Structure 1
Amino acid sequence: MSQSELLTSVQGGLGVITLNRPKAVNALSHNMITLLDDALTEFENNDEVHAVLIRGSGDRGLCSGGDVVTLHKSAAENDLAGAAPFFREEYILNHRIYEYPKPYIAIMNGLVLGGGVGVSVPGSHRVVTDSTKLGMPEVGIGFSPDVGGVYYLANTPGKVGNYMALTGSQASGADAVYAGLADVRVPDERIEALVQRLESITGPDQVDAILAEFNETQKSALEHESTWIDEVFGAETVEDILTGVQTVAAQENEVAQKALKAFQRHSPTALKVSLEAVRRAAELSLAETLVQDLRTTMHAVAGTELAEGIRAQLIDKDRNPQWNPAQLTDVTDEAVQAFFGPVDGIDDLVID
């Protein structure tokens, strides 16, 4: 197995996968997707491996997302054929993790963003910590949440999913457990002890009890804000949601004030597509959501917003994207619905 971007080992009864790009907070390259899939096959076929554990190298987080700097070239050139294989393989991997036959334990410390959500949240056992910052920030680069993220956001309590999708906000470990995006919260200083205990398992049925032993619950700040979030983010349109956020922000609510600033930074098109994606996902399976994701992603690559968002945030870093259209009212429903239709020259995703 490659020693550069992904490491694997068998420790007792545990197959360990380490994402190994610490300088990039383990951002997923195409090569890492392939290696991760190979590792899952290897561990699935190894009878001595009773569970799989995935973690990130370094102390900054599990995974900061996909390698969007590489994606920028495809988006800038509208190169759908060049971009499609990465996303197609990534989404198939996301679904494989969801259906993996052995316990799949994700250590979700630090940053768990975008593609990092895709290799953790679909797993059977999601472990967050006190350093966890989990989010789907795609709307900030003119994109909508992918990797099946909207499936999970659609199934959060109340309208928390709409809030997370439209603001790109990062959930703490306690918030992630409240939102159903994680199962247990373990303090960072106890993670190594947890891993050592998991290495000692002699069967997959022992994982639940070990995680329960290490679990330390904490009140969720997001749950504390849920009353106004459910009311405001349950509005029919993004424009109405924005009006509601402005009203709550004017009452000196710091969470609403941060949400308002996020709205003002984000692509109007991406905001509307993201809300529609979450709403549609409420009626879909994960597999169906991933089919939807490939369509919305390829339409984004074919458009202008994604390339401009990556340029402003990650290439030139001027933090001044020139969105087009620049106003919510100029984004038509027809333009939004087009993101969910077939993409010329790109076959729909097929998940066996």
Structure 2
Amino acid sequence: MTDDDAVLLRTDGHAAHLVLNRPRAINALNHAMVKRIAGALTAWERDPAVATVVITGAGERGLCAGGDIRAIHADAAAGTTASAAFWRDEYRLNAHIARFSKPYVAVMDGIVMGGGVGVSAHGGVRVVTERSRVAMPETGIGFVPDVGGTWLLSRAPGELGTHLALTGAAVGAGDALLCGLADHCVPADRLPEVLAALATDGAQDVVKRYARPAPAGELADHRSWIDHCYGAGTVEEIVGRLLDSGEPAAKEAAQTILTRSPVALKVTLAALRRTAELRTLEEALEQEYRVSCAALSSPDLVEGIRAQVIDKDRAPRWSPPTLGEVTAEQVERFFAPLAGTAGAAGPGGTEFAHVFE
């Protein structure tokens, strides 16, 4: 498969289509795909014949399972910087999607995780189906939510975003709508009709015409303990509240969190709290860029991908292995300016403003 084959571009009437085309990898994104999507969006934004852009995924399994983490593992293990270049272009793409001047319809059918959220949930018209499973599962591989995930999750109702970020839990259509990750639910078997109608009709009109009530979610019924437990100031206190709540689902969440990278958990909580105070998605992406680049030199990223994807033994050896051993200095390192850059290390710093020029 060539780089061009991995993202298919076509037009149908007034609609331009991006089709992620790596179905065997659930359309995982690599650097070439990001560049091809970015180039197409720039061209279509200037093309008066294009009224709507639509992104879908090839195959039956999902829109996109995330970034190509095998490549990130190889890069981190070798101590090289290819991943930093990939993230720079990927985060620029996320920002472009968020401010795209024409309707951008994201068909979030099936699995939509990590980088898949980045190319969909920032769009103007976000469609889920009864098959959707949406997640930011980064803490399970020793990483931290990126692609604007901290921006999206920090703005979910109450502490729902904190729950999803720390556990990495996948949600269905109803909960994706509740958390602000999607706008409409369309039955999967009606998607071909939606795509055909977009050739001639306006995006919002088409999607509303086919939208139906989403299958019931689970999170609304858990808001009381989620908001109380995840409102704590530290990950340790969150886990303690979850275990003490008496709710079986809360205990299960605590047990899940305790399998995740302790460093990634603490950095994720700090990132969410900082992002909640930021003014723009671009500021959040700048912060995520610092965090992601720092993660490249963290042993947990290499180890997490090894355990979950390379060897698949599901037994990561985190360093340090417990939450109590993670120091404030270790967490703060993820938010510091990168070597060779100027600007403040705090939230909203401008040292990466050039990323969004």
Counterpart among 229, 243, 257 of residue 246 in structure 1: 243
Aligned equivalents of 1:273, 1:95: Cα separation in 2: 22
In the TM superposition, residue 132 of structure 1 has moved relative to its aligned partner by 0.6
Aligned equivalents of 2:243, 2:111: Cα separation in 1: 28
Match for residue 153 of structure 2?
153
Matched, 1:222 2:216: no
In the TM superposition, residue 197 of structure 1 has moved relative to its aligned partner by 1.4
Question: TM-score, structure 2 length as denominator?
Answer: 0.93
Paired amino acid for 1:280: R
Question: For the Cα contact (< 8 Å) 1:186–1:214, is it kept in 2?
Answer: yes
Match for residue 57 of structure 1?
58
Paired amino acid for 1:60: R
In the TM superposition, residue 346 of structure 1 has moved relative to its aligned partner by 6.6
Question: For the Cα contact (< 8 Å) 2:94–2:118, is it kept in 1?
Answer: yes
Match for residue 180 of structure 2?
180
Matched, 1:315 2:320: no
Counterpart among 340, 343, 346 of residue 338 in structure 2: 343
In the TM superposition, residue 158 of structure 1 has moved relative to its aligned partner by 0.3
CA distance 1:149–1:85, change in 2 (3 Å): same
Matched, 1:234 2:231: yes
Matched, 1:25 2:19: no
Counterpart among 301, 308, 311 of residue 306 in structure 1: 301
Aligned equivalents of 1:238, 1:132: Cα separation in 2: 29
**CA RMSD, Structure 1 to Structure 2 (Å):** 1.4
Alignment of 1:124-163 (within 5 A): 124-163=124-163
Paired amino acid for 2:239: L
Q: Deviations over 1:223-256 (max 9, x none)?
A: 11111111111111100100112123x54x2x32
In the TM superposition, residue 42 of structure 1 has moved relative to its aligned partner by 2.2
Question: For the Cα contact (< 8 Å) 1:130–1:188, is it kept in 2?
Answer: yes
Counterpart among 327, 332, 335 of residue 322 in structure 2: 327
More deviation in 288-297 or 339-348? 339-348
Alignment of 1:73-88 (within 5 A): 73-79=74-80, 81-88=81-88
Aligned equivalents of 1:229, 1:214: Cα separation in 2: 33
In the TM superposition, residue 162 of structure 1 has moved relative to its aligned partner by 0.4
> SS state of the match for residue 95, structure 1?
helix
Q: Deviations over 1:130-171 (max 9, x none)?
A: 011101000000010001100010100000010010000001
Question: For the Cα contact (< 8 Å) 2:134–2:172, is it kept in 1?
Answer: yes
Paired amino acid for 1:40: L
CA distance 1:86–1:192, change in 2 (3 Å): same
Aligned equivalents of 1:197, 1:341: Cα separation in 2: 48
Match for residue 346 of structure 2?
none
Alignment of 1:161-310 (within 5 A): 161-201=161-201, 206-218=202-214, 219-248=216-245, 250-251=246-247, 253=248, 255-284=249-278, 285-310=280-305
Match for residue 45 of structure 1?
46
Question: For the Cα contact (< 8 Å) 1:152–1:181, is it kept in 2?
Answer: yes
Question: For the Cα contact (< 8 Å) 2:225–2:250, is it kept in 1?
Answer: no
Question: For the Cα contact (< 8 Å) 1:15–1:51, is it kept in 2?
Answer: yes
In the TM superposition, residue 345 of structure 1 has moved relative to its aligned partner by 4.7
In the TM superposition, residue 3 of structure 1 has moved relative to its aligned partner by 4.6
In the TM superposition, residue 298 of structure 1 has moved relative to its aligned partner by 0.6
More deviation in 213-222 or 136-145? 213-222
Paired amino acid for 1:298: C
Aligned equivalents of 1:77, 1:303: Cα separation in 2: 12
> SS state of the match for residue 343, structure 1?
coil
In the TM superposition, residue 291 of structure 1 has moved relative to its aligned partner by 0.5
Structure 1 gaps, min length 5: none
Match for residue 108 of structure 1?
108
Aligned equivalents of 2:17, 2:251: Cα separation in 1: 41
CA distance 1:76–1:2, change in 2 (3 Å): closer
Alignment of 1:4-15 (within 5 A): 4-15=5-16
Question: For the Cα contact (< 8 Å) 1:78–1:303, is it kept in 2?
Answer: no
In the alignment of these two chains, the number of paired residues is: 344
Aligned equivalents of 2:242, 2:213: Cα separation in 1: 29
Aligned equivalents of 1:72, 1:171: Cα separation in 2: 26
More deviation in 318-327 or 339-348? 339-348
Match for residue 120 of structure 2?
120
Aligned equivalents of 1:344, 1:115: Cα separation in 2: 26
Structure 2 gaps, min length 5: 343-350
Identity, % of aligned positions: 42
